[in-house]
Structure 1
Amino acid sequence: MISLFPIAKIRCASILIYAVVCLSTNFAHASETGQKVSLLFAGDIVLDGQPGKWITKGKDPFSAFAAVFASTDIRIANLECVVAKEGQAADKNFTFRAEPESLSVLKRHVDAVSIANNHSGDFGRAAFSEMLTHLQKNQIQYFGGGNNLSEAHRPLIIERKGLRIALLGYNEFMPRSFEAGTASAGIAWSEDEQLVLDIQQARLHYKADLVIPFMHWGWENEHHSNQRQQHLAKKMIDAGADAVIGGHPHVLQETSTYKGKPIIYSIGNFMIDALDNEAQTLGWVIRLELDKHGVTVWDSRVAKISDEGIPEPQAQLASACWVRGDKQTRLCSNVDTGFSPAQIQRSGALPKALAN
């Protein structure tokens, strides 16, 4: 008599293999066509001064934007200060140092920060190294700086819904003396050849699906990008970047598109009380929706910064937005706090400040 048990086992194994293949295929298909990730960028954040005093009093200076931040999968900001107790102030017009306790509030709203800017080194390398420890302790990821040159240029890889996103940060504004060294802590300085190599390595070595540099560049209080920014933005996209986001001028600058990839030259300030003109009180919070092929749509929300350095949403204003395939930036409503690409509508002629 022939036993049917081995045949049953073979059939069960075949069914199991088939099921696994089907599930894997369906997941891969979902990752390619259905799964999208939203990514938020906020501008310069200084947790010193009045915003720091708010935190000391138990208040949350991010509270007015909490819903906007919560509407995205990943939240990124530029941390425009050192967070430490150690160090001596550098000989500069402005130096910013925040209390380590402020990071517990930052953590509620932000997943990662760029530390590639001209204030991370305000209190020296010891304070900078202390900040890295505090960020790690609070589980806030960082990029654009590290304990040595290799770490400073290493991409931060964030994976969501099957997408591997590489974030890189670079500073172009003096002083350069705080650039990371072979064995010394500091920030990533923007050198064209190294930057191109970093973008390529993010894909080849770190297996990133998407690469986005967050730049600290341009001249303060200039409302239009300069030739250096424009040239470098195109070079980064030619190297494989899927979008370029910028800050540092403390004011908003125009947006552009190159090879179907968005360039946002400056998103301005977000939380800072060291302001010296009205234009510096307006900033954008940028939200991008991503798929395997890059940015499908981005929109923005306007932040009006009070005399105390606290951002407030401006629901009555329209601001920049874009949909893949557009050759020009659109204007969109600021009323909705959720991430709703379907609500992006054209609204007539573009103001000069937003034209490509």
Structure 2
Amino acid sequence: MRFLFCGDIMPGGVLPYQKEFLSPSTKKYLDSFDLVIGTLETAIGTNIPYDPIKMEGRQNIIYSRDEDFFRLKEMNVGVVSLANNHIFDLGIEGLKNTINILEKNNIQYCGAGLNIKEASKPLILDVGNRKIGILAYCSSDPNQVAYVPVATEETYGVNPLDITKACEDIKRYKEICDEIVILVHWGKEYNSFPIKQIKHESYKLIEAGANVIIGTHTHCVQPHITHRQGRIYFSLGNFIFPDFFMAPPRPIFYPEPKDIKNIKTTYTYPFPITEPLRRVWLNKSRIGMGVEVHFGDKIKFKEQLLILDNDNVLQLYHSRKVTCKLWLIGKIVQMPFYHGGKLFNAILCRVSRIKHCIKTIFKR
């Protein structure tokens, strides 16, 4: 079987207002896999109230409507992780609705539930004569993901990343699985460098027996490295996460088509807002990575960059510049005294914003 692991998936936003969202070559690429696996970073629901706790805070509500869900099937998605900081943006009713739609469409899921027993349950996939265990976690560190409900024995939430427990989980499921894949939502948003803590946690997960770590959350691609025969993808960035509309004070919304032309554009994520805005991703957040994985006596990997173009159509992407940058950052991360690359990332962010401003000026 051919597996493709990808980053964060959000099938709503501006996509309902356009005819296509996949280029023919991307559609052909996705259909060539037996299983596409990603992180569903959105609640699914129509006319479901926003999570009240989140509305008391930053109010960054991300959701897709029921009628937007079909795009997951169009992308050949067969497994999703629900372990992320937006799956509960429509509260517990949003989770129930999301799970109901996933089950109706025969899409498997893990990483969140009505209690910790459900949230921590792994997926065990039979691949020929091999068993692949998929364990999904979400950081509960407010410095990484802000607010996220954590599942307990009695309350709903995500499966939290407790590194000690995660290592115990790996060792337990390694007894019945040939390979273990970790899907983990973590890190600093818009940071091309993984933070120091994540590097150390990744090493511990690999040393406990994980074969592959697939990170998400950062909205930009981070490097991948090898540690003790295990492959670590710190973050695959966005897979399909289109531009979207925000209503005051900041939740996503779906305007009438006739009103779109009057909505102003922003390239930042302000809070609070006082008028409807169209939030447009900067270029680094439009680039994602897919990872083809072949499981066997020796696990093989093949990376493919993708880009969401300015028309919000997902394209296959080939960039020696991006590939070289990721390779260089990977070498920096592997240095013994690596401290998170704060200075390097600050420089990259500043350069990216300057380039964007220059392009905007010349377009006028």
Global fold match (TM > 0.5): yes
Given that 2:114 and 2:155 are in contact with CA atoms closer than 8 Å, whether structure 1 keeps it comes out as yes
**Deviation per residue, 1:121-177 (Å, 9 max, x gap):** 111112112211111111110011122101111111111212211111111143454
CA distance in 2, matches of 1:246, 1:45: 13
Q: One-letter code of the match for 1:65?
A: T
TM-score where L is the length of structure 2: 0.72
Query: Secondary structure at 2:33's aligned position in 1?
Result: coil
Please state how far the C-alpha of 1:179 moved relative to its aligned partner: 1.4
Q: One-letter code of the match for 2:123?
A: L
Aligned to 2:43: 82
Query: Secondary structure at 1:223's aligned position in 2?
Result: coil
Larger Cα Rg: Structure 1 or Structure 2?
1
1:101 pairs with 2:67: yes
Alignment of 1:250-329 (within 5 A): 250-274=219-243, 275-291=280-296, 293=297, 295=299, 297-315=300-318
Please state how far the C-alpha of 1:244 moved relative to its aligned partner: 0.8
Please state how far the C-alpha of 1:276 moved relative to its aligned partner: 3.7
Given that 1:252 and 1:283 are in contact with CA atoms closer than 8 Å, whether structure 2 keeps it comes out as yes
Q: One-letter code of the match for 2:6?
A: A
Aligned to 1:229: 198
Query: Secondary structure at 1:165's aligned position in 2?
Result: strand
Residues 1:177 and 1:285: Cα distance change in structure 2 (over 3 Å): closer
Aligned to 2:346: none
Q: One-letter code of the match for 2:37?
A: I
Q: One-letter code of the match for 1:243?
A: V
1:353 pairs with 2:319: no
**Deviation per residue, 1:14-43 (Å, 9 max, x gap):** xxxxxxxxxxxxxxxxxxxxxxx4321111
Structure 1 window deviating more from structure 2 (281-290 vs 310-319): it is 310-319
Please state how far the C-alpha of 1:248 moved relative to its aligned partner: 1.0
Given that 1:64 and 1:311 are in contact with CA atoms closer than 8 Å, whether structure 2 keeps it comes out as no
Q: One-letter code of the match for 1:306?
A: D
CA distance in 2, matches of 1:197, 1:272: 33
Given that 2:180 and 2:209 are in contact with CA atoms closer than 8 Å, whether structure 1 keeps it comes out as yes
Structure 1 window deviating more from structure 2 (262-271 vs 180-189): it is 180-189
Identity of aligned residues (%): 24
Query: Secondary structure at 1:184's aligned position in 2?
Result: coil
CA distance in 2, matches of 1:267, 1:354: 13
Given that 1:51 and 1:272 are in contact with CA atoms closer than 8 Å, whether structure 2 keeps it comes out as no
Aligned to 2:359: none
1:120 pairs with 2:96: no
Query: Secondary structure at 1:49's aligned position in 2?
Result: coil
1:197 pairs with 2:168: yes
CA distance in 2, matches of 1:257, 1:248: 20
1:46 pairs with 2:22: no
Unmatched runs of 5 consecutive residues or more in structure 2: 244-279, 335-364
TM-score where L is the length of structure 1: 0.74
Given that 2:223 and 2:326 are in contact with CA atoms closer than 8 Å, whether structure 1 keeps it comes out as no
Query: How many residue pairs were aligned?
Result: 286
CA distance in 2, matches of 1:112, 1:98: 18
Given that 1:302 and 1:317 are in contact with CA atoms closer than 8 Å, whether structure 2 keeps it comes out as no
Residues 1:152 and 1:254: Cα distance change in structure 2 (over 3 Å): same
Please state how far the C-alpha of 1:178 moved relative to its aligned partner: 1.3
Aligned to 1:159: 126
CA distance in 1, matches of 2:3, 2:68: 23
Aligned to 1:179: 150
> Of residues 211, 230, 234 in structure 2, which corresponds to 1:242?
211
Q: One-letter code of the match for 2:44?
A: V
Query: Secondary structure at 1:167's aligned position in 2?
Result: strand
Aligned to 1:209: 178
Residues 1:261 and 1:161: Cα distance change in structure 2 (over 3 Å): same
Given that 1:179 and 1:187 are in contact with CA atoms closer than 8 Å, whether structure 2 keeps it comes out as yes
Please state how far the C-alpha of 1:315 moved relative to its aligned partner: 4.4
Please state how far the C-alpha of 1:351 moved relative to its aligned partner: 4.8
Q: One-letter code of the match for 1:83?
A: I
Query: Secondary structure at 1:300's aligned position in 2?
Result: strand
Residues 1:189 and 1:157: Cα distance change in structure 2 (over 3 Å): same
Structure 1 window deviating more from structure 2 (71-80 vs 229-238): it is 71-80
Unmatched runs of 5 consecutive residues or more in structure 1: 1-36, 321-330, 332-348
Q: One-letter code of the match for 2:114?
A: N
Q: One-letter code of the match for 2:12?
A: D
CA distance in 2, matches of 1:183, 1:138: 28
Aligned to 2:253: none
Please state how far the C-alpha of 1:48 moved relative to its aligned partner: 1.9
CA distance in 2, matches of 1:262, 1:94: 32
